[in-house]
Amino acid sequence: MAELIIKNRSLPDLDDADSLSDHNLRDYGRFAILDDGSMWLGDVYSSNPDEASSTFFWAITKSEELLICAQHSKVDDERIFGSDKRPLAWVVEELVSKQIIGKPTGTRIAE
């Protein structure tokens, strides 16, 4: 996979893979930063864990971009797109390990 473009975008709350194409998406799910600081990633059919302190949607577009959306607040946006890029790197690594995306040659956050 070439460079992965990551964008902070509004995403709908989907729970059915049949609706992905209506939104120009190839894949979709949720992820969370848990109360203990660990992270969790789920697919389109998942629900966030009860012990989540920050929750997000993720999506892969048909053009292979990664979209991230905080579910609840600007504070959560800052938690994922702020100076600490570890949560974002973790999401990319999980998507690669689950073979949802190929290993990118690099990543770039785009407006």
Block means of pLDDT (10 residues each) for the chain, 111 residues, are 91 91 94 93 93 93 94 69 85 96 94 79
Q: What pLDDT was estimated at residue 3?
A: 95
6 forms beta bridges with 66, 109
Q: Which residues have a Cβ under 8 Å from the Cβ of 88 and sit 6 or more positions away?
A: 6, 68, 80, 81, 107, 109
Only one residue has tokens 């973790």, namely 90
Q: Domain extents for the chain?
A: 4-110
